[in-house]
Chain A
């Protein structure tokens, strides 16, 4: 627990995180096996970036500037090619990074401050695409997130 001393923690929302290899994450605050976990460091950063990236701009009452338009395009089924996904990902990731950077300051630990986000690869499967994303902190720590994204409009599903 010493690593939590003088740190500000967040709830762990992405359950089942592993150090290496692909694993399906559970988006839940607690499970049958535990009553909720907390996190700090790059894991907290990855969650923070993911929430910002996947939030649709305008969907939060009172916080109209938060989020990106990436999931709006996904819902509309407009991301069907590598080029489209790559272009829109980079645009949205840039917006998310600017938003996160704006709320950070020098009192924050480097492993919780955003440095860069890379789209490493895209794999197409029937009906959806898997995005391999690497979130890096200023301390050099990284987390890889695999995001399945539908390639069909939501109203067809």
Chain B
């Protein structure tokens, strides 16, 4: 709504009549000799004065409404964004005007020669433009060019091709820039030697400008002290950091919470305090990220599995993807986007998690691998069988490049480092940041429609469902009504939704999986001994996890 009326039609007619009666009364008292019924004075003086006063008072009312924190809080949709910005700036809250999405592009080149990707190049995917964050140079391994600025060493892929990754940024702010891994990026000018470019990760951080309603919801973080203390204070401290301002949900588990296991290691089963776990959902969906990693040959496969082939080992450092949930796959390095979706995968035979601390860094009290789950302190060594390479072709200790895909929540490492920083670190408790315990959720339902109707916009419907589920945060429950409410906006005529199936795969910090399934709602089990409860678990779904089946029904008559 505009802060000033632009048309007399916006005026409340009752208000005009009230003012006309008021001014007539005043005139009657002061000048009883003036004609106040229909006439020149009435129509040209009294009436227009009433109309203009009504307009003025309406403008004043709107300004006052926007200036009042009470009025803004009661009805944010009525307030003028500029005024709201000014009011909330008094509480140290600033409006998020949208963020550009960021991610990595996989560059596939034909020959093992130095290849430049200019910062002026533009990539397009799904109508969204991206550009490299700088000019990058892909260089062959051991090349003298590796000393060039922003050099990226190429890794051999299949069919004689080579690949390297570069960071890219969306040209405009908006959630539409959060493209999914494997999406083809089309350059405006094809760089020489490049055969394909595609997204190597699910892009993140893209966000639309927030509305007044969403903005007001942040008021509590502005009012809360940015210090270590209560839940709101943790929330405020994290969200007011530019890097973490788009954090979706935060759950602080500390003293007295049964899910806080790190302070219950004494002889008696009571909380000792002094430990805080911060579970965060930093993105709507779990991010899938392709990494080009080096694997080391261990030995022939029959040492571990019966299948022919060779056993390789990859050490996942704690910085590869801090706090990752799981390794989705190990595969051949693909050389085009279509292949990236389903490259040749290898069987993971063994996974050995471990804890790793850097020298001199602050060490939170983490006693074992279980307590390190989904934190930046966990590393992992995985073994897999490459059944394309025979033991006769390689020697123990040889290395080769592979594609390793992780699934995780971004920014866990950065958030832990921030909270462990000397200037910020709490002196009364040790704080561990964890990716929210994930319940990977698949949703399926049918949309029934008559034969003379067209299908609704399934793609947009799926996006809205993903957004609706992402808004739940640490709610402990995903109800079918959340899904139908989001989907029903796209239904027309006689269309309806039925046969809803919600299937959740809850990955416990221990690595075990719990399955949840129900047509009406799935509820997070209360299992604090395994760090599983409504305080720790979020539901994560993506458009790929939603299946909508159109179903035709007979329609009789008009």
Contact = CB atoms under 8 A, between A and B. Distances in A.
A68 to B, nearest CB: 13
Contacts of A48: 37-39
A38 to B, nearest CB: 9
Given A61-B8, A61-B11, A61-B16, A51 B40 contact: yes
Interface residues of B, number: 26
A21 interface: no
Identify the interface centre among B36, B43, B50, B51: most chain A CB within 10 Å of its CB.
B43
Interface string A13-56: 10000000000000001000000000000001001100110010
Given A44-B35, A52-B38, A62-B50, A13 B8 contact: no
A106 interface: no
A8 B40 CA distance: 13
A11 B16 contact: no
B40 A62 contact: no
Contact of B35 (A9, A55, A99): A9
A139 interface: no
A44 B16 contact: no
B39 A103 contact: no
Nearest to B7: A61
A56 to B, nearest CB: 13
Given A62-B17, A62-B50, A8 B41 contact: no
B34 A9 contact: yes
A10 B8 contact: no
A35 to B, nearest CB: 15
Interface string B1-31: 0000000110101111100100000000000
A29 B38 contact: no
A87 interface: no
A51 B34 contact: no
B554 interface: no
B44 interface: yes
Interface in B38-70: 38-41, 43-45, 47, 50-51, 54
A107 to B, nearest CB: 11
B362 to A, nearest CB: 68
Contacts of B35: 8-10, 44
Contact of A61 (B9, B32, B40): B9
B13 A61 contact: yes
A126 interface: no
Contact of A11 (B8, B33, B40, B50): B40
Contacts of B32: 8
B16 A10 contact: no
Identify the interface centre among B11, B39, B43, B47: most chain A CB within 10 Å of its CB.
B39
Identify the interface centre among B11, B15, B34, B45: most chain A CB within 10 Å of its CB.
B34
A62 B13 contact: yes
B34 A8 contact: yes
Given A8-B35, A52-B38, A103-B37, A62 B11 contact: yes
Contacts of B45: 11
Contacts of A11: 39-41, 44-45
A55 B42 CA distance: 13
Given A8-B34, A9-B34, A63 B39 contact: no
A122 interface: no
B34 to A, nearest CB: 7
Contacts of A29: 40, 44
Given A8-B33, A9-B33, A61 B38 contact: no
Contacts of A9: 33-35
Contacts of B44: 11, 13, 29
A62 B38 contact: no
Nearest to B12: A62
Interface of B: 8-9, 11, 13-17, 20, 32-41, 43-45, 47, 50-51, 54
Given A11-B45, A100-B38, 13 more contacts: A7-B33, A8-B35, A10-B40, A10-B41, A29-B44, A44-B35, A48-B39, A61-B51, A61-B54, A63-B47, A99-B38, A103-B37, A103-B38
15 contacts: A8-B32, A8-B34, A8-B35, A9-B33, A10-B35, A10-B39, A11-B41, A29-B40, A47-B40, A48-B39, A55-B43, A62-B14, A62-B20, A66-B38, A103-B38
